[in-house]
């Protein structure tokens, strides 16, 4: 055997060993599956390892224990114990001392799998030279079809009405689930927020976008976990606003830490109530949409159904921009992914957005006033604008017009909101 052959054998042995490390880690700590959600069965070089990983995923999806006994039992039930025995499963569990490095092992497995698929596709593309195509476009189509095989699998599939019949009637008899926001007029009209919605809330500075978001978050959290990404304010700044909203203590006093003993007692009491709500906050700048997706997936696996994901705000996210791609197109990629997350997680995705300066001169905001709009209005199920009509004033505070400019399945509507800035609180009027 020449040196190249020796290297290939050693490489294969290393790959198989790493695959064993991944599977062994999962046996040691089944929750490790949460760390390797990016792995697919086809990423494993060994057919035997592919099948074991499929069984693990099957068990985990049905909330069944993932261990040597349950995996071995699946093989027994299907009379395939000759393929994988308890002895080999035990060997996998003993292949690693700890599950702490499972993500590292899985990344190696995925990386090698992508390279294998890339090499395979490269060879197939090379062989296309010897095939006849009627047009150059047919040739490019063939290449694109091969390249798409390298990408992660899409679990979606075509179904006929006959195939989908049972699921559809289950859908009809399942009670519709809407997420109440705590704003009675809006909730009565729209029946709250809908799962699967991408909800874009846009406004110029000083319209109270963040304050309105936080008030909604506190209402929505009564229906389930809410994940909040704050890119301009740290956690304490958000908590200051929430406390003012709930206690009636001036936001200025809280911000300046000019509080009496009695007020501190009120704040402590209210905080104890708020901390019971499943509200989670990340206060880092430049968050990516893929990071949001990964975090949401982990939360859903560990904590169950999510009610809402909220990002404040769109335009300051870290948004990769490909060569020859415009900024608006890059932002469009983010909103498209946000909509996918809402559907995949079966939650509402609320995204705050800026408006253009031109909107200041408009009598009433329009969809075109969304900053770098691109596909924002296309991807969003609901687009609302928060704006101030200088002719609409009351003594109790600032009147903010809530204009639902787009509402898929709910229509268009307008609400008047009283914004009491000193309490960071909105009230429908």
d(CA 116, CA 118): 5
Q: How confident is the model at residue 319 (pLDDT cuts 50, 70, 90)?
A: confident
- Taking all residues of the chain, what is their mean pLDDT, rounded to a whole number? 86
For residue 372, pLDDT over 90 is answered with no
Instruction: Provide the CB-side half-sphere exposure for 288 (13 A, CA).
Output: 7
- Mean pLDDT to the nearest integer, 390-416: 88
pLDDT at 214: 95
SS3 content of the chain, % helix, strand, coil (to 5): 55, 15, 30
Tokens 């003012």, located at residue: 244
- Domains of the chain are 3-115 (1.10.860.10), 178-428 (3.40.50.300)
pLDDT digits (tens, 9 = 90+) for 261-310: 999 999 999 999 999 999 999 888 778 887 788 788 878 877 888 999 99
For residue 168, pLDDT over 90 is answered with no
pLDDT at 141: 66
- Mean pLDDT to the nearest integer, 94-115: 93
For residue 149, pLDDT over 70 is answered with no
pLDDT digits (tens, 9 = 90+) for 189-238: 999 999 999 999 998 888 889 999 999 999 999 999 999 998 888 889 99
Q: How confident is the model at residue 20 (pLDDT cuts 50, 70, 90)?
A: very high
pLDDT at 199: 93
Phi, psi of 131 (to 5 degrees): -100, 155
pLDDT at 205: 82
pLDDT at 382: 93
pTM of the model: 0.62
- The distance from CA 389 to its chain's CA centroid, rounded to whole angstroms, is 35
pLDDT at 273: 93
pLDDT at 90: 94
pLDDT at 189: 93
Tokens at residue 69, please?
A: 């006994």
Residues 6+ apart with CB under 8 A from 236: none
d(CA 84, CA 70): 13
CB–CB of 27/92 below 8 Å?
Answer: yes
Tokens at residue 220, please?
A: 């929505």
pLDDT at 153: 55
* Residue of 24 and 302 predicted with greater confidence: 24
SS3 259: coil
pLDDT at 243: 95
Residues 6+ apart with CB under 8 A from 91: 20
pLDDT cut 90: percent of the chain above it: 48
d(CA 240, CA 218): 13
Q: Which residues of 51-90 are buried (b: 16+ CB within 10 A; e: fewer)?
A: bbbebbbebbeeeeebbeeebbebbeeeeeeeebeeeebe
- Mean pLDDT to the nearest integer, 167-187: 87
- Mean pLDDT to the nearest integer, 65-74: 93
Q: How many residues would you count in the chain?
A: 429
d(CA 339, CA 357): 26
């Amino acid at each position: 055997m020449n040196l190249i052959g020796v290297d290939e054998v050693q490489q294969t042995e290393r790959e198989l060993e790493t695959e064993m490390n991944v599977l062994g880690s999962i046996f040691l700590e089944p929750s490790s599956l949460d760390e390797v959600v990016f792995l697919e069965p086809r990423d494993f070089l060994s057919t035997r390892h592919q099948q074991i990983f499929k069984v693990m995923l099957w068990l985990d999806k049905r909330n069944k224990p993932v261990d040597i006994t349950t995996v071995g039992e699946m093989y027994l039930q299907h009379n395939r114990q000759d393929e994988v025995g308890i002895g080999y499963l035990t060997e996998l569990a003993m292949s690693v001392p700890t599950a702490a490095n499972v993500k590292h092992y899985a990344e190696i497995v995925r990386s090698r799998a992508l390279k294998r698929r890339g090499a395979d596709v490269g060879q197939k593309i090379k062989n296309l030279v010897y095939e006849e195509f009627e047009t150059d476009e047919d040739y490019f189509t063939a290449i694109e079809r091969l390249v798409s095989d390298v990408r992660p699998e899409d679990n979606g599939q075509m179904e006929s009405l006959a195939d989908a019949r049972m699921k559809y009637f289950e859908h009809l008899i399942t009670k519709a689930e809407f997420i109440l926001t705590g704003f009675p007029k809006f909730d009565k009209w729209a029946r709250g927020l809908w799962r699967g919605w991408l909800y874009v809330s846009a406004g110029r500075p000083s319209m109270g976008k963040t304050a309105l978001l936080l008030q909604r978050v506190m209402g929505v959290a009564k229906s389930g976990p809410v994940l909040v990404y704050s890119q301009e304010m740290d956690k304490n700044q958000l908590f200051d606003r929430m406390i003012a909203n709930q206690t009636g203590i001036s936001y200025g006093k809280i911000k300046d830490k000019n509080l009496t003993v009695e007020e501190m007692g009120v704040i402590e009491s209210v905080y104890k109530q708020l901390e019971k709500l499943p509200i989670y906050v990340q206060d880092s700048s430049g968050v990516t949409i893929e990071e949001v997706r990964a975090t949401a997936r982990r939360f859903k696996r560990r904590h169950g159904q999510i009610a809402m994901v909220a990002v404040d705000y769109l335009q300051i996210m870290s948004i990769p921009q490909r060569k020859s791609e415009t900024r608006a197109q890059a932002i469009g990629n983010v909103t498209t992914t946000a909509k996918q997350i809402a559907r995949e997680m079966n939650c509402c995705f609320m995204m705050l957005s800026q408006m253009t300066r031109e909107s200041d001169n408009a009598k009433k905001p329009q969809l075109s006033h969304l900053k770098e709009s691109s596909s924002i209005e296309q991807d969003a199920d609901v687009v609302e604008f928060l704006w101030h009509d200088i002719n609409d004033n009351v003594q109790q505070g600032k009147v903010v017009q809530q204009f639902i400019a787009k509402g898929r399945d709910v229509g268009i509507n307008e609400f008047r909101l009283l914004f009491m800035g000193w309490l960071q609180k909105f009230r429908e009027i």
